[in-house]
Structure 1
Amino acid sequence: MAFTIWRHPRPCGAAARCIGGRTDLAVDPRKAKRLAHRIRAHARRHGLPREVVTSPLARAADVGRWLRHWGFRWRVDAALAETDFGAWDGRPWADIPTAEFERWMQDFCGFDFDGGESLAALLRRASSWQPPCALAVGHAGWITAWQWAAQRPGQLPTAATWPAPLGYARPAA
């Protein structure tokens, strides 16, 4: 089955903050609707069933709500949620001490952000996920982990090899 996942639209209030699975930010309704239109057109163009799965976080789920409004079957899957950045989640990046970043870089895949989810755990979660349909809306960290696991099975990234995140409202295949 062909599968396409989109990153959610840019959330309100995310600028200069560490935003993960614990911080549920909304998106501008017009941006959610715009992405839903693009997904609907993609489904029509490729003859895909009118089904979508999203993360439970508002920035992805709001797109699913629009699609449901237009007759799509919409499912929510907690496995698609963004990385849980633990004690960092929701904090301004500028407030996180340099020593904390150094701890992360020393253990890039094992660091759990003081009570959150390590990159190794995210990679396991993303690689074990099976798409229930051809269309999804998720988050940059999860999408990057899913692509990494598919392209480099069994390999762990370093800070230097971890790819840049997918842009907002962009598809990854």
Structure 2
Amino acid sequence: MKLTLVRHTSLQIAEGVCYGQSDIDVSVHFANELSTLQQKLLHEQIDAVYASPLQRCSKLAHALGFDSILHDERLKELHFGDWEMQPWTEIPRDVFDVWAQNYAELAPPNGETFAALQQRGVDFLNEAHSRHAGQHLLVVTHGGMIRALIAHVLNMPLKGLFRFHVDYASLTRLDFSGAVPKIEFVNR
């Protein structure tokens, strides 16, 4: 099985705001970013399409023109709990610093840990692998999920997650067809 992960396009939200699972709409640049993605996917043979149900992913999956899209809650971004829709600068620094030192195991107040997000992603992968062995899936999701899946494939600790920058409207390909999973490319 191969997975081509697509990060959603840019969003209609001010910079510096924590948004996680908040259902933010796409930006005014959507049409241009969509066109670029369509060119990147032009010669790809896709067998199934999955998307996070948040509108920024669902809109993109539908706009890419695929007939059937399977929405999966497990593909959502990290739930930042009480920090959702707060400017990062207004989150108490002492609380944020404690979380930032161990975001894999600590959750923002009323949110979830990155370990929980990664586990959602791994659960999705395991189910997809059993349902779509030998197929190529397109998965429209979020930067946090893409980072968590890369960390899973590389068998690396989540502590290094933010060393990967995942661009809006980019492609990342994971290949699970061999004995050892591989990353074919990131940010294409």
- Which amino acid counterpart does residue 158 of structure 2 have in structure 1? P
User: In structure 2, do the counterparts of structure 1 residues 100 and 142 end up closer, same or farther at CA, with 3 Å as the change threshold?
Assistant: same
Shift of 1:42: 4.7
Q: Which of the two has greater strand per residue? A: 2
Shift of 1:10: 0.7
Shift of 1:96: 0.8
TM-score (norm 2): 0.77
Partner of 1:25: 24
Q: 2 CA distance for matches of 1:84 and 1:170?
A: 22
Deviates more, 1:77-86 or 1:160-169: 160-169
2:151 counterpart SS class: helix
1:52 to 40, 49, 52: 49
2:169 counterpart SS class: coil
CA RMSD between the two structures:
2.2
Aligned residues: 165
Q: 2 CA distance for matches of 1:82 and 1:52?
A: 18
Deviates more, 1:8-17 or 1:38-47: 38-47
Q: 2 CA distance for matches of 1:29 and 1:73?
A: 25
Partner of 2:60: 63
Q: Deviations over 1:36-61 (max 9, x none)?
A: 44555555413333x42111111111
Q: Is the 8 A contact 2:37 2:169 kept in 1?
A: no
TM-score (norm 1): 0.83
Gaps of 5+ in 2: 174-188
Q: Is the 8 A contact 1:14 1:25 kept in 2?
A: no
User: In structure 2, do the counterparts of structure 1 residues 143 and 150 end up closer, same or farther at CA, with 3 Å as the change threshold?
Assistant: same
Shift of 1:164: 2.9
Q: 1 CA distance for matches of 2:113 and 2:153?
A: 18
- Which amino acid counterpart does residue 111 of structure 1 have in structure 2? L
Partner of 1:126: 121
Q: Is the 8 A contact 2:76 2:142 kept in 1?
A: yes
Identity of aligned residues (%): 25
Superposed structure 1 runs of 4+ greater than 6 Å apart: none
Q: 2 CA distance for matches of 1:82 and 1:37?
A: 24
Gaps of 5+ in 1: none
